[in-house]
Structure 1
Amino acid sequence: MKFQSLLLVGALVSLNLAAEEAKENPVTEAGVVKISWQDVDSYRDVKAVGDIQSRYELRVFETLTKNLNKAAEKTLKPNQKLELVVTDVDLAGDVRPTFGATPNDIRVVKDIYPPRMTFSYQVLDGEQVVIAGDEKLRDMSFMHTTGTMNDKPLRYESKMLSDWLKKTVEPKL
């Protein structure tokens, strides 16, 4: 009996250590953009709907990085890179339970649940910092600016970041 208890405790401890080890701060890169996602568990809303949470988070982070890179490649000068350290994300909409109507919760997107993101950033030219700052973005008009036929994943968040790049970073370059 003691051996079984010891074996069970050992398995639980190793599972806990593996979970802690796997929860490092992810970093995503695409082209001229590098994003460090800090303390992901404290983010306001990156809740998976019908998917494994860790897999969903990684897909969200990679998609946002790729989409921001598309805009940054048009905005930044040659040899410049954009680095962000994201400290909070709140995706557009709100996750609601279905109370058994479906096996998964659903994300309800309404204009009262805007996308938000908090981060620090810097534009580098080689090793030299050209621009740096901190941002708290929120797009209150997100439902009215992306078009009705746009069904791309994370379209509201991607547009918010592209608009920030054009309005805040581009004029300073």
Structure 2
Amino acid sequence: MHTDSGAIEMNVRSVFRTTALAILLLAGTQAAARTVTDPERPRQLEGEDPVSVSWDDPAGFSEIRYSGNRWEAEQGNWVEELARYIRERAGRALPAGQRIDIRITDIDRAGDYEPGRGVDGDRIRVVRDIYPPRLSLSFTRYDASGQVIAQGERRLTDLGYLHRASRRFGNDPLGHEKRLVDDWVNAELRVPGA
């Protein structure tokens, strides 16, 4: 039995190329799935909870539309992380029996990407006074019988965010936005006299 070593080598190369192409396609698909604008990502948190949190399409958020580096701004899972934080904080503050539906309508994270900062310099989020965190949301709050007791829209911002020392969030990249959430929850859901 005679085997052609050239044919075997071509067959091995073909298998290698096909495998490499499949890996690249899979990696590209996974990389695309990591963006907050991926249409396959959910637009609300799952689960039965007295706090329901949903959000508009992040592609329309100020963070992405006005970014100095849109590609970098789309990376990660920061919208869902912030939504989970809102649910956790509101859930702790909400009186028993009540429920609240919250919809995030806009996010502009603290800092921005500044173009023209050298090689890969536009991939660094620069935090300055001129880039304060901003968060817009709408909500409807219900009592135990299902009656609406409060609703509205809020535009949250902290112009002095760099002057408010806080060790609570340490190096958390969403620390400034989470502090906005804390302030809103304390003001909106606080029980008078508590």
- TM-score relative to the length of structure 1: 0.70
Deviation of 1:95 after TM superposition, in Å, equals 1.3
- Verify the 8 A CA contact 2:54 2:83 in the aligned structure 1: no
Deviation of 1:92 after TM superposition, in Å, equals 0.5
| More displaced 10-residue stretch of structure 1: 110-119 or 141-150 | 141-150
Alignment of 1:1-150 (within 5 A): 22=39, 26-29=43-46, 31-46=49-64, 53=74, 56=76, 59-97=77-115, 100-102=118-120, 105-125=123-143, 127-147=146-166, 150=170
CA distance in 2, matches of 1:144, 1:169: 25
CA distance in 1, matches of 2:171, 2:117: 26
Code of the aligned partner of 1:109: V
Gaps of 5+ in 1: 1-19
Deviation of 1:35 after TM superposition, in Å, equals 2.0
Moved over 4 A (4+): 46-52
Higher strand proportion, which one?
A: 1
Three-state SS of the structure 2 residue aligned to 1:170 is: coil
Aligned-pair identity in percent equals 27
Deviation of 1:139 after TM superposition, in Å, equals 0.9
- Verify the 8 A CA contact 1:25 1:39 in the aligned structure 2: no
| More displaced 10-residue stretch of structure 1: 124-133 or 107-116 | 124-133
Structure 1 residues 144, 171: CA separation in 2 closer, same or farther (over 3 Å shift)? Answer: farther
Q: CA RMSD in A?
A: 3.3
Deviation of 1:52 after TM superposition, in Å, equals 8.5
CA distance in 1, matches of 2:38, 2:93: 37
User: Quick check: which has more Rg, 1 or 2?
Assistant: 2
- TM-score relative to the length of structure 2: 0.63
1:155 aligns with 2:175: yes
CA distance in 1, matches of 2:45, 2:106: 15
CA distance in 1, matches of 2:176, 2:88: 15
